Amino acid sequence: MECVITVADNKADKQANDVDNLLTQGVDVLVIAPHDATQAASMVDKAKAQGVPVISYDRLINSDKLDLYISHQVPIIGRKMAEYALKNVPEGNYVMVYGASTDNNAVIMKKEQLAILQPAVDSGKIKIVGEQFITDWKPELALNFVENALTQNRDDIKAVVVSNDGMAGGVISALDKKGLTGKVLVTGQDAQKDALQRIAEGKQTMTVYKPIVPLANAAVDAAIKLAKKQPLSDATPFKNETLGKEIPAILLEVQVVDKDNLLTTVIKDRYVSYDDVYANVPTDKRPPKP
């Protein structure tokens, strides 16, 4: 097989042009990680008009014509963040930092996070004092939002539920300025190297680890099957809430990572090295090297 890769640099128009070019080249299968979930539906329409199967990779496209949606368990990611926060900070003021409103993953996670937190909100144990979608998941916008939230609440914030590690970096910069780093719970997602380093240092509380190799391998396997017009026997129905329709999906498991299990998750899997994770931690403060 030949794999042609294009990168849209977070630009929906460039992604649309890339898809047009790939279809002109006569690809057998199209795998799209959409920048804009709604706009990408027109790309699916074009591909299907030419009889080309489409896989929505990692993020869900708002189209009921997809041959497959393959991702990690996005609803569970949202729930795990909120459950972790609630278990560790059962009372106090919360701030919610969502991803881009144009990204289905952000919308799904928001719904699931709030579903977990709602009983605690209703009972008055926690109070959500700020919440916002962040354009293009930009860390600097997350920083600005949380800075304002801290000011408005006289720094009385106990937990910031952040929907990815990039934005968590921005949030921690805002906390740094107030001397609150390590005193406020901060969630994340993606297990980025810099986030894992922050967890080792005690600056970020947790992240959700989504092993990339199984996801990429499963996408390639599915693409080859679709090119050969073979059935995807391991796909199960997944409801796109925006469209109210079901599509075939393969959703892979995720894991919570915090200071207690860095060794037995990301380091054990060789996703990152021990030396990289603990690069900013003094040698005498590190756990024994496995």
Residue 201 confidence (pLDDT)? 98
Residue 212 confidence (pLDDT)? 87
Distance of CA 87 to the CA centre of its chain: 21
Residue 242 confidence (pLDDT)? 87
CATH class of 74-210+256-285: alpha beta
Residue 290 confidence (pLDDT)? 87
Residue 65 confidence (pLDDT)? 97
| Whole-angstrom distance, CA of residue 166 vs CA of residue 36 | 19
Q: What is the DSSP letter of 2?
A: -
Angle 139-152/165-177 helices, nearest 10 degrees? 40
Overall residue count recorded for the chain in this entry: 290
| Full-model pTM | 0.85
E strand or H helix at 219, and its extent? helix 212-227
Q: What is the DSSP letter of 127?
A: E
Token pair of 16 as six digits: 């649309």
Q: What is the DSSP letter of 155?
A: T
Q: Which residue has the tokens 């693409």?
A: 223
| Whole-angstrom distance, CA of residue 171 vs CA of residue 96 | 11
| Whole-angstrom distance, CA of residue 275 vs CA of residue 277 | 6
Closest CA to 104 of 33, 160, 55: 33
Q: What angle do CA 83, 89, 95 make, to 5 degrees?
A: 80
| 186 phi and psi angles, rounded to 5 deg | -130, 125
Task: CATH 3.40.50.2300 in the chain: give the residue spans.
Answer: 12-72+211-252, 74-210+256-285
Rounded (10°) CA dihedral 273, 276, 282, 286: -20
* Beta bridge mates, 71: 251
Give the CATH fold of the 12-72+211-252 domain.
Answer: Rossmann fold (3.40.50)
Q: What is the DSSP letter of 196?
A: H
**Mind listing the pLDDT tens digit of every residue in the chain (290 residues)?**
899 999 999 899 999 999 999 999 999 999 999 999 999 999 999 999 999 999 999 999 999 999 999 999 999 999 999 999 999 999 999 999 999 999 989 999 999 999 999 999 999 999 999 999 999 999 999 999 999 999 999 999 999 999 999 999 999 999 999 999 999 999 999 999 999 999 999 999 999 999 888 999 999 999 999 999 999 999 999 999 889 999 999 999 999 999 999 999 999 999 999 999 999 999 999 999 98
Pair 161, 96: CB distance under 8 Å: yes
Residue 46 confidence (pLDDT)? 98
